[in-house]
Structure 1
Amino acid sequence: MSLLFTVLSFIVAIGVLVTVHEFGHFWVARKLGVKVLRFSVGFGKALWSKQGGDGTEYVVAAIPLGGYVKMLDEREGPVDDSEVHRAFNRQNLKVRSAIVAAGPIFNFIFAILAYWLVFTLGVSGLKSTIGAVEEGSIAAASGLRAGHQIVSVDGADTVTWVGVIQNVLGGVLKDPQVPVSVQRADTPSAPVRNLTLDLRPIPIDDLTSGGFFETLGVTPARPEFAPVIDAVTAGGAAEAAGLQSGDRIMTVNGEPMSSWSAWVRRIQASPGETLSVRIQRSGSSRVVPVTPATKEQDGRTFGFIGASRAPDPGLIERYFVTERYGPIESLTRATDKTWEVSMLTLRMFWKMLKLEVSVQNLSGPISIAQYAGNSARSGLSRFLEFLAIVSISLGILNLLPVPILDGGHLLYFAVEAVKGSPLSEQAQYVAQHVGLVLLVGLMGLAFYNDVVRVFSL
């Protein structure tokens, strides 16, 4: 079921983003008087098609990894004299450039709209408060201490750890000495201290490979919920063991359980293993055998019993925050966010070309599908954030000056503007094949990274 949800989330995400991109080409072409013959979401065999009254065939195809807009063009077949003026190849440079650039531009516009929805609806996250700092770590050397709340990174306000991570990564790609401002979390009126997070001793890859907190030597402050069961799932291992709402977990195989997270870690580490669990119920203590079921998700196997913790609104309010703004401020923040993520993506790509960042940071369809599934499970706001980030990446990728991509066509047009005539068909043919080889190589590398990640789990 989890795999199916992940696949469906991936299909929805790619379908939305491809439709947005191709709609950009389609809409601008129509507005500028170019006839569109086909608007296809996906490649391969048509699963659904409809002939519109405007003469355009609308298609949903079997392979949802792209799409295309086919326009009237004399280079691809004979064109009736009465419609020659509507052929793409007969348009001037400005019109052709606008049509080609529209796809990536619509990806950036979509990202702004997605972020606007996120900021308007509100997105919750763990407050950027430090729970512990490892002695001798980079964080300790930079002056970070337990109890500090990071209020800004590289000049950008931060209220959650997601914002801290994004801004540190964006900052270190510009300068390994990243300015950070902190304040005592328990004293809102305390003065703000300006520090410098010195990341010169470590490779950027250590931050981007999933070990952000370990690399810095910090542990986020997290709520420690009491190990008290609130509800059990019907037919689950918890119900089979006789666990009930209100039961407090005392020990597992003699090991004290001080928090709900400790209890969860113990269960997840014991799939199929019968555990001796001491509980407290109605003032008395008893021992019950609990055998966690085995569950697989995203290539990982772990124990699962089907029990949820008791809520604690006070802890939630203390450790979590919801970012929510009015419509106008949300639009400003969404535009700024789109710009920040775009610059981060470009800097990361440039560092890869200079071999300063590993190409292992490239993600292929498997990783993107996993991110799609995880973000969708986390709620609408997180899924919209994911769509915005991928849309920006898609826009930037298509603007690269590589033949076969939109950026390659724009490069052709730039050469045409300089020399006063289009590139020869032979030159374009050779360039297209070079671009195809580069693109296939890039996709192959990303897919290889995916396979390595899956088998290294």
Structure 2
Amino acid sequence: MSDWLMSVPAFIVSIGLLVAIHEYGHFWVARRLGVKVLRYSIGFGRRVWGFTGRQSGIEYWLSAIPLGGYVKMLDEREGEVAEADKPYAFNRQHPWRRIAIVAAGPGVNFLFAIVAYWLVFMIGVAGIKPMIASAPDGTLANAAGLRAGDEIVAIDDRAIGDWQDLRLTLIERGLDGQAVDLSVRGDDGMARDVSLDLRGVPADPEKLFDRLGLAPYQPPATPLIARVVPGSAAEAAQLQAGDEVLAVNGESVDSPQGLVDRIKAQPGERVTLAIARDGRRQEVPVTLAAAENEAGEPVGRLGAQIGVDGEAWEAMRTTRQLGPLAAVPAAVSKTWEVSALTVRLMARMVTGDVSWRNVSGPIQIANYAGQTASIGVEAFVGFLALVSVSLAVLNLLPIPVLDGGHLLYYSIEWIRGRPLSEAVQVAGQQMGMVALLMLMTLAFYNDILRLLG
């Protein structure tokens, strides 16, 4: 419940802000190009609060459904327009003007992402060093000779600052399907070059990293119970937050991942955890729950959030901070990289190379919003930048009812010298609505599956 007390307000602030910025792009350009604006609304449906501009006569609304917004412009297709106002109607404008008005929404979202990343780089981007854990046998990292504790300094001469850099770069290179050269520094301080063959690897990010066998290095540290999930096996065994887990069935564990792996390997079984509580060692029997992973295989479930003493991770932390000028090109580059990667992954979803389970809806976005807000300002601002890019890219898809669909129609009209027939436009709108409804249904379905674990 406490998680949602943070997630819901963070979600409302995030979506409200990004939608307001998107719609303001349409609003600002429309007014600059002489189109009469009737209403600027954040949200859909019934008006909850609002006012009317004294001089402009524009209605400013906050509406009941906070999952979008709109700018209503004077348009002869939506009602009668006085003869004196017809030159200011949207439908009377040259196609290039309509294209500019429609493109302004996604454009402002990209601009917001640049500004947000600029702020993040100036505040300082916290992360963990790109050091890797031991790669399992049969994985590409193991075959390449990568070892536990290796820090990946660069990929194809591109500097890698933290694990997020490493992850995004490998996803991008994985889509290219080529071998990459890694500059690696071992735990002994010695530098060496390693070739990692990415030909034929899965395009899906999760499957990619399973195939590579790459995971963050975990320094030896006793795992502990950070939180117990109500109704779980951990609660039934009376485990408590703060308990240090020393061993499972008499075999010691020295990292959170080691504990997780041991739990997953014993679905539905009764195990004995050796824990330390208040400085005293105890033996606690636990009957693990059983669940299925994405491959449909049974895995054990304890029902607890596993953590570790923060001091053990101190040496793994890193911060990238730039000055105001240096942060500008870095922010532009970051926005471009995230945008390009988003487009490529969406294209691979269409071809079936990337699972549609990667599509997230408002529930998952709210969850991420709450998590990043609880971490700190830089994490939350970075989250806003990422969602802003996603919103821009989604709206530019050539689907009628989205900005990209309108851009397609107006571009065709400009080239042909006349608009498409009304029947064609209506059919396109109907297909666009169906496609959008299917996408929203899929997003909610994925969110519910994640909630159910």
1:197 paired with 2:196, answer: yes
8 Å Cα contact 1:153/1:178 also seen in 2: no
Q: Which residue of 2 aligns with 1:438?
A: 435
The DSSP-based 3-state class of the residue aligned with 1:79 is coil
Q: Distance in 1 between matches of 2:19 and 2:69?
A: 6
Q: Once the two structures are superposed, what CA deviation does each residue of 1:320-342 show, in whole Å capped at 9, x if it has no partner?
A: 10111111111111111111111
8 Å Cα contact 1:224/1:260 also seen in 2: no
Percent sequence identity is 47
8 Å Cα contact 2:36/2:88 also seen in 1: yes
Q: Aligned pair in 2 of structure 1 residues 6, 154: CA closer, same or farther (>3 Å)?
A: farther
> Which among 127, 140, 143 is matched to residue 142 of structure 2?
140
Q: Distance in 2 between matches of 1:187 and 1:227?
A: 25
Q: Which amino acid aligns with 1:361?
A: N
Q: Distance in 1 between matches of 2:93 and 2:317?
A: 55
Q: Distance in 1 between matches of 2:77 and 2:421?
A: 13
- Please report how far the alpha carbon of residue 423 of structure 1 lies from its aligned counterpart in structure 2 after TM superposition: 2.2
Q: Distance in 1 between matches of 2:209 and 2:113?
A: 28
Q: Which residue of 2 aligns with 1:27?
A: 28
- Please report how far the alpha carbon of residue 21 of structure 1 lies from its aligned counterpart in structure 2 after TM superposition: 0.8
- Please report how far the alpha carbon of residue 184 of structure 1 lies from its aligned counterpart in structure 2 after TM superposition: 1.5
Q: Which residue of 2 aligns with 1:52?
A: 53
Q: Which amino acid aligns with 2:203?
A: I
Q: Aligned pair in 2 of structure 1 residues 358, 227: CA closer, same or farther (>3 Å)?
A: closer
Q: Distance in 2 between matches of 1:153 and 1:304?
A: 33
Length-normalised TM-score, structure 2: 0.81
1:222 paired with 2:218, answer: yes
- Uncovered stretches (5+) of structure 1, i.e. residues with no partner: 230-236, 292-299
Length-normalised TM-score, structure 1: 0.81
Q: Which residue of 1 aligns with 2:89?
A: 87
> Which among 148, 169, 174 is matched to residue 167 of structure 1?
169
Q: Aligned pair in 2 of structure 1 residues 310, 451: CA closer, same or farther (>3 Å)?
A: closer
8 Å Cα contact 2:131/2:149 also seen in 1: yes
Aligned residues: 426
- Please report how far the alpha carbon of residue 317 of structure 1 lies from its aligned counterpart in structure 2 after TM superposition: 4.5
Q: Distance in 1 between matches of 2:323 and 2:28?
A: 30
Q: Which residue of 2 aligns with 1:319?
A: 316
The DSSP-based 3-state class of the residue aligned with 2:107 is helix
8 Å Cα contact 2:121/2:331 also seen in 1: yes
- Please report how far the alpha carbon of residue 30 of structure 1 lies from its aligned counterpart in structure 2 after TM superposition: 1.4
Q: Distance in 1 between matches of 2:412 and 2:333?
A: 33
1:425 paired with 2:422, answer: yes
Q: Distance in 2 between matches of 1:431 and 1:260?
A: 52
Q: Aligned pair in 2 of structure 1 residues 388, 286: CA closer, same or farther (>3 Å)?
A: closer
Q: Which amino acid aligns with 1:83?
A: D
Q: Which residue of 2 aligns with 1:4?
A: 5
Q: Which residue of 1 aligns with 2:330?
A: 333
1:124 paired with 2:126, answer: yes
Q: Once the two structures are superposed, what CA deviation does each residue of 1:361-400 show, in whole Å capped at 9, x if it has no partner?
A: 2222222222222222322222222222221121111111
Q: CA RMSD in A?
A: 3.7
Q: Distance in 2 between matches of 1:29 and 1:353?
A: 34
- Please report how far the alpha carbon of residue 355 of structure 1 lies from its aligned counterpart in structure 2 after TM superposition: 2.5
The DSSP-based 3-state class of the residue aligned with 1:220 is coil
Q: Aligned pair in 2 of structure 1 residues 259, 183: CA closer, same or farther (>3 Å)?
A: closer
- Please report how far the alpha carbon of residue 185 of structure 1 lies from its aligned counterpart in structure 2 after TM superposition: 4.5
8 Å Cα contact 1:225/1:261 also seen in 2: no
> Which among 63, 77, 80 is matched to residue 75 of structure 1?
77
- Please report how far the alpha carbon of residue 425 of structure 1 lies from its aligned counterpart in structure 2 after TM superposition: 2.4
- Please report how far the alpha carbon of residue 177 of structure 1 lies from its aligned counterpart in structure 2 after TM superposition: 2.3
Q: Distance in 2 between matches of 1:426 and 1:390?
A: 35
Q: Aligned pair in 2 of structure 1 residues 196, 250: CA closer, same or farther (>3 Å)?
A: closer
8 Å Cα contact 1:250/1:280 also seen in 2: no
Q: Which amino acid aligns with 2:195?
A: T
- Please report how far the alpha carbon of residue 255 of structure 1 lies from its aligned counterpart in structure 2 after TM superposition: 6.6
Q: Which residue of 2 aligns with 1:17?
A: 18
Q: Which amino acid aligns with 2:23?
A: E
8 Å Cα contact 1:248/1:280 also seen in 2: no
8 Å Cα contact 1:74/1:87 also seen in 2: yes
1:97 paired with 2:99, answer: yes
Q: Distance in 1 between matches of 2:342 and 2:220?
A: 36
The DSSP-based 3-state class of the residue aligned with 2:133 is strand
- Uncovered stretches (5+) of structure 2, i.e. residues with no partner: 226-233, 287-300
Q: Aligned pair in 2 of structure 1 residues 185, 384: CA closer, same or farther (>3 Å)?
A: farther
Q: Which residue of 2 aligns with 1:149?
A: 151
Q: Which residue of 2 aligns with 1:232?
A: none
Q: Which amino acid aligns with 2:367?
A: Q
1:447 paired with 2:444, answer: yes
Q: Aligned pair in 2 of structure 1 residues 158, 275: CA closer, same or farther (>3 Å)?
A: closer
Q: Which amino acid aligns with 1:79?
A: V
Q: Which residue of 1 aligns with 2:289?
A: none
**What pairs with 1:25-424 in structure 2 (closer than 5 Å)?**
25-53=26-54, 54-173=56-175, 175-186=176-187, 190-191=190-191, 193=193, 195-205=194-204, 208=205, 210=206, 213-225=209-221, 258=254, 277-278=275-276, 302-303=303-304, 312=311, 315-424=312-421
